[in-house]
Amino acid sequence: MANQDKPKLKMAIYWGAGCGGCCVSVLDVHEKLFDVVAVADLVFWPIALDIKYKDVEAMADGFIDLTLFNGAVRNSENEHMARLLRQKSKILVAYGSCAHLGGIPGLANLTNKNELFNRIYLETESTLNPDGIIPKTHFNVTEGELELPEFFNDVRALNQVVDVDYYLPGCPPRTERLIEVFMAIVNKAELPPNGSVVGAWEKTLCDECKRKKTDNKVIRKFYRPWEIHDDGETCFLEQGVICMGPATRGGCGYRCIEGNAPCQGCYGPPADAPDPGAKMMSAIGTIIDSNLEIEIEEIVDAIVDPVGTFYRFSLPKAILRKKMSVPKPVN
Amino acid sequence: MEFEPKIVAFLCNWCSYTGADLAGTSRMKYSPSLRIIRVMCSGRICPTFIFKAFQEGADGVLVCGCHPGDCHYNEGNYKCLRRFKLIEKYIRQMGIEPDRIRLAWISASEGKLFAELANEMTQTIKNLGPSTIKAQLEQMV
Amino acid sequence: MEEIRIGVYICWCGTNIAKNVDVERVAAEAGKLQGVVVARDYKYMCSDPGQDLMVKDIQEMNLNRIVVAACSPRIHEITFRKALEKAGLNPYLFQMANIREQVSWVHDDREKATQKAIDLVTGAVKRVRWQEALNKRSVKVNPATLVIGGGIAGLTAAREIARTGRIVFLVEKEKSLGGMMKKINRTFPNLDEASKYLNPIIEEVSSHPHIQVYLNSQLVKLSGYVGNFIGTVNHKETQSELEFGNIIVATGLKPFKPTPLSNYAYKRLPNIITSVEFEEMLSKGYIRLDSRQEPKHVAIIHCVGSRNPDFLPYCSRTCCQTALKFANQIKDLLPKAHVYQIYADMRSMSKGCEEMYSKTAKRGVMFLMYDQKGKLPYIREAGKNEKTRLVIEMKELLSGEQVEVTADLVILMVGMEAQETSKQLSQVLGISRCSNNFYIEKHPKLDPVATTTDGVFIVGSCQAPKEISDSASQAKAAAARVLAMINKDWVEVEVITSSVREEICCGCQICVHVCPYGAIEFLKEKKVSCVNEVICKGCGTCASACPTGAIGSRHFTEKQILAQIEGVMLQLLEV
């Protein structure tokens, strides 16, 4: 496959605020890794290679051909690396749900820095911190001044910090999709317009989902997945379980459905429904089977956590992207 | 200067918009806070519109449709009601005062009620004070 | 993509708008918006010169989007759309901002009204940019007509249409034709026998080869659209499915039951009857009491239920004339009887009725006025020494004195109210009702027999109480409208419908039962939903229920509405 005449692609992978699953999904190429390294040189990948930030800083602008940036932007280190890699890369890909939409870390937008610090460093049951020490960005020790990244109030998706060329969604992205996109770039295939989602379908998950779907979409009661005797065949929505499939791009290979769990939306919204939570709330609300206000309220009450249900992976990219802090009344 | 709220109001064409017109033809005076957007049916109103209005700086959002049982399209208003209940719950979780959104049924003959509703809602929003949603959303770090 | 070139026109509506809105400033602010090529204000945009101004601009300045800020779109949207067509522009590339009904008429503060007008215009300008040309579609008109109600209005409409050789289905919920008119003995002002007019029409309708009469029947279900309706008619245990192109609703009204007005002692004391019961008595040819004696004193009480905020807040329109007619009929049958008209306001406004009033007064009928806003007349049983069985206590307004009117017989001129079935039928037909439960016409002045649902017309007293001649006029007007449509042979159908982009639709089928008209079908082979645009009425509910964005609601697209939201919130002014 490798063409000896052709210079090898210079590739970087970076891990922002995320779980590391995206990096594992890259490793999941298994034996195909040999194909990858035959055509690409990994010039930066903190999880696997000992290359320092200063080495990246020393690279010429646009030196890197392709960067897969996974993880959201939670702190100043993430932001610095996002800007740096943008500057050094020809193609910057937001890789995985966190970089694409904010992902699971993005749910922290339901709270803020102060609340988090209080909880984590002062309040948790296992904390022993009598002096109330919380992290600071600068701290003097005998060896000199220590610098820690600044923890931001909000979690942001990558494109809320820098321009992004492509989005490769998923938590994590399906490895086959990564290889397809990677090979397309290597082979200089015609790439979609900048800003496109790649490695996912235009149609949403139901299109490929193998469960039996009918037009019997009415919801009398919402159930959590463990509350039903799932027959493994019937559409989750028709069993009263909220499945984000209709508002989530296909391409994942319906892994969750195959595991008898409803879709939670990691592949993100299709092109014309940018706020998947709003769309799904609209759809789900419409098919509630009651015209009585009190009854509707009861049915809706079964959705204990609307944000976590409808925006599990996409809160930072929602129209209302974070919880509002209501100013305290003056008097 | 006194705070004059801006309330984005979504009105169905057949009942509520006609009711608002009737308030006009009857020369009823009410607060100039509403910015009315006409849709054919309250069933067309989706959460996206409401969230967008807040994002753009609306201090409140009013949704009006035909009375239950009187929808020009049979049941669009019920569908609106069901969505609205879900939106209310979500809005609360997002730290937005639930009083900033309101769903009301206004028939084509209820011009007076519409004018009263506009005043009432304006007062509610005045009591809450200006929305800071837009400013908070724009503040990124 | 074509360059967007927007023309904005701010109407003064004489002083209607200009008085409370600084129209020049609105035009100036609109002129600063992106894509706006020209922004003008003009005295009357709906006038011919106003429209010509717009047409000229479109042609000379190559405008491709138009915004008019004027009255409600419910009044002149069609007028301006036609002007666009005249200028060679698709009529849907147009948006109205309602700055009269929703601004100048409701706000006195000129500054705030002007700001609101600017916001609404900005919303319209932002929205119109995304509006798309829509093409009109036409369908053949089924020449059959459904007439609902077999009273004088329905009968007249049915006869009128059938006489041209067209099929009419006449559905009547009672067991015979004739409606309220059948209960009337003589008509005012000339005291002609009602049956003399009514019977020949019933005869003709019943035996007409082109009219199918369904008695004891009701329309229970309706699908389709103007030109091609399908209705289900229930008659007792059986059901018929009928196909027709137009519907004339002539369901009439019903008399108010005076029992809740306890001061009138209806059904509590003898010889107190309603006007409708008195008509029945007259039809039998006599006027008598329960005791079979002839009454010597007859009191007629007006406005029973009518013009009473607790019951019927409106005037029932025919009672004053009928009461005068009764006085004459009583005087004809019982020349010696004393007749008292106990009225609130005398409103005998129909043709020939003022003359009937003068004539009646000259026949020795006594007129006593009561204060409708004060204490209503009160009927009590007379004492043993009094000369009649009943006594009406009242304050006579003109003399200011408390008087007692003696009576053997009291006739209560009951008001007329909407049929109990009016709500159910309005839902079947998709037409609206006013606060008094009568059906609402499309335009109170200019389109009084049409409704906002194309192909559905309302005639006679289902729209509001009215006399026979008015009902007949409306029936003939609606018949003419229907026949014109039948003769044209085709009709334009709704273009504001939903449509599915198959390349996006995931086949979740959430939309299928969301449609109130069953217009959405799931195509199993393609695995996508499909909207039957002829059945779709354009509510847009499916578009908001669609989680993928595959369903679009034409002329109310998400882009258009979001742009409008952005526009109304875009503050141009320094506050």
Q: Which of residues 496-515 of C touch B (CB under 8 A)?
A: 496, 514
**CATH annotation of A9-105+154-197:** 3.40.50.700
Say if CB A206 and CB A246 are below 8 A apart. yes
Q: How far apart are CA C343 and CA C353, in angstroms?
A: 16
Give chain B positions within 8 Å (CB) of C566.
52, 56
Give chain A positions within 8 Å (CB) of C514.
286-287
The predicted-structure confidence for A231-256, as pLDDT tens digits, reads as follows 999 999 999 999 999 999 999 999 99
Q: Which of C105, C435, C565 sits opposite B53 (nearest CB)?
A: C565
Cross-chain Cβ contact B108/C434 below 8 Å: yes
C241, exposed or middle or buried, with CB in 10 Å at 0-12, 13-18, 19+?
Answer: exposed
Residue A306 touches partner B, C-beta closer than 8 Å? yes
Q: How far apart are CA A99 and CA B118, in angstroms?
A: 43
The predicted-structure confidence for C9-53, as pLDDT tens digits, reads as follows 999 999 999 999 999 999 999 999 999 999 999 999 999 999 999
Q: Which of A214, A217, A270 sits opposite C504 (nearest CB)?
A: A270
Cross-chain Cβ contact A320/B141 below 8 Å: no
Residue of B nearest to C110 (CA): B32
Q: Specify which residues C418 forms β-bridges with.
A: C253
Residue whose token pair is 């009854």: A295
Report the mean per-residue pLDDT for chain C.
95
Report residue B25: phi and psi, to 5°.
-65, -25
Give chain A positions within 8 Å (CB) of C507.
206-207, 213
Say if CB B132 and CB A327 are below 8 A apart. yes
Residue B135 touches partner A, C-beta closer than 8 Å? no
Cross-chain Cβ contact A288/B82 below 8 Å: yes
The domains found in chain C, sorted by start residue, are: 6-136 (3.40.50), 145-252+419-492 (3.50.50.60), 256-417 (3.50.50.60), 496-554 (3.30.70.20)
Q: Which of residues 24-63 of C touch B (CB under 8 A)?
A: none
Q: Which of C116, C514, C570 sits opposite B32 (nearest CB)?
A: C116
Q: What is the pTM of this model?
A: 0.79
For B9, B83, C133, C449, C496, the CA distances from C557, given in Å and listed in that order, are 17, 19, 13, 32, 10
A331 confidence band (pLDDT: 50, 70, 90):
very low
Neighbours of chain B (3+ CB pairs under 8 A): A, C
- Which residue would you say has higher pLDDT here, C494 or A194? A194
Say if CB A184 and CB A191 are below 8 A apart. yes
Q: Which of C506, C521, C544, C569 to mutate to test the interface with A (most CBs of A within 10 A)?
A: C506
Say if CB A256 and CB B21 are below 8 A apart. no
Structural domain boundaries in chain A: 9-105+154-197, 111-152, 205-317
Flag whether pLDDT at C574 surpasses 50: no
The predicted-structure confidence for B2-59, as pLDDT tens digits, reads as follows 899 999 999 999 999 999 999 999 999 999 999 999 999 999 999 999 999 999 999 9
Structural domain boundaries in chain B: 7-138
Give chain A positions within 8 Å (CB) of C510.
217, 237, 246, 283, 286-287
How far C510 CA lies from chain A's nearest CA (Å)?
Answer: 6
Cross-chain Cβ contact A217/C546 below 8 Å: no
- Residues composing chain C: 575
Q: How far apart are CA C327 and CA C340, in angstroms?
A: 8
Q: Which of A218, A272, A286 sits opposite C504 (nearest CB)?
A: A272
The predicted-structure confidence for B78-97, as pLDDT tens digits, reads as follows 999 999 999 999 999 999 99
Cross-chain Cβ contact C119/B4 below 8 Å: no
In this prediction, residue C572 carries a pLDDT of: 54
How far A120 CA lies from chain B's nearest CA (Å)?
Answer: 20
In this prediction, residue A1 carries a pLDDT of: 47
How far C141 CA lies from chain B's nearest CA (Å)?
Answer: 23
Q: Which residues fall within 8 angstroms of residue C277, CB to CB, at 6 or more apart?
A: none
Closest residue by Cα to residue C30 from C53, C54, C7, C59: C7
How far A205 CA lies from chain C's nearest CA (Å)?
Answer: 7
B70 confidence band (pLDDT: 50, 70, 90):
confident
A5 confidence band (pLDDT: 50, 70, 90):
low
Cross-chain Cβ contact B32/C115 below 8 Å: yes
In this prediction, residue C279 carries a pLDDT of: 97
- The predicted model gives C95-107 an average pLDDT of 98
Q: Specify which residues C214 forms β-bridges with.
A: C171
Cross-chain Cβ contact A283/C510 below 8 Å: yes
Give chain B positions within 8 Å (CB) of C556.
39-40, 44
Residue A220 touches partner C, C-beta closer than 8 Å? no
Residue C539 touches partner B, C-beta closer than 8 Å? yes
Flag whether pLDDT at C442 surpasses 90: no
Say if CB C184 and CB C278 are below 8 A apart. no
Exposure string over C437-447, b if 16+ CB within 10 A, otherwise e: bbbbbbeeeee
CB atoms within 10 A of CB B37: 22
Residue C551 touches partner B, C-beta closer than 8 Å? no
In this prediction, residue C286 carries a pLDDT of: 96
Residue B54 touches partner A, C-beta closer than 8 Å? yes
Residue A291 touches partner B, C-beta closer than 8 Å? yes
Give chain B positions within 8 Å (CB) of A285.
47, 79, 82-87
Neighbours of chain A (3+ CB pairs under 8 A): B, C
ipTM tops 0.90 = yes
For chain C, percent of residues with pLDDT exceeding 90: 89
For chain B, percent of residues with pLDDT exceeding 70: 99
The predicted-structure confidence for A132-147, as pLDDT tens digits, reads as follows 999 999 999 999 999 9
- Cα dihedral C530, A252, A172, A227 sign: positive
Cross-chain Cβ contact B85/A286 below 8 Å: no
Flag whether pLDDT at C77 surpasses 80: yes
In this prediction, residue A328 carries a pLDDT of: 56
Flag whether pLDDT at C388 surpasses 90: no
Flag whether pLDDT at B140 surpasses 90: no
Q: Hey, what CATH topology would domain B7-138 get?
A: Rossmann fold (3.40.50)
Report the mean per-residue pLDDT for chain A.
93
The predicted-structure confidence for C309-352, as pLDDT tens digits, reads as follows 999 999 999 999 999 999 999 999 999 999 999 999 999 989 99
Residue C72 touches partner A, C-beta closer than 8 Å? no
The predicted-structure confidence for A197-236, as pLDDT tens digits, reads as follows 999 999 999 999 999 999 999 999 999 999 999 999 999 9
Exposure string over C264-297, b if 16+ CB within 10 A, otherwise e: bbbeeebbbbbbbbbbeebbeeebbeeeeebbbb
Q: Specify which residues A34 forms β-bridges with.
A: none
Residue of B nearest to C453 (CA): B72
Residue of A nearest to B44 (CA): A282
Flag whether pLDDT at C465 surpasses 60: yes
Residue of A nearest to B97 (CA): A326
Q: Which of A162, A282, A290, A301 to mutate to test the interface with B (most CBs of B within 10 A)?
A: A282
Flag whether pLDDT at C443 surpasses 90: no
Give chain C positions within 8 Å (CB) of B28.
106
In this prediction, residue A2 carries a pLDDT of: 46
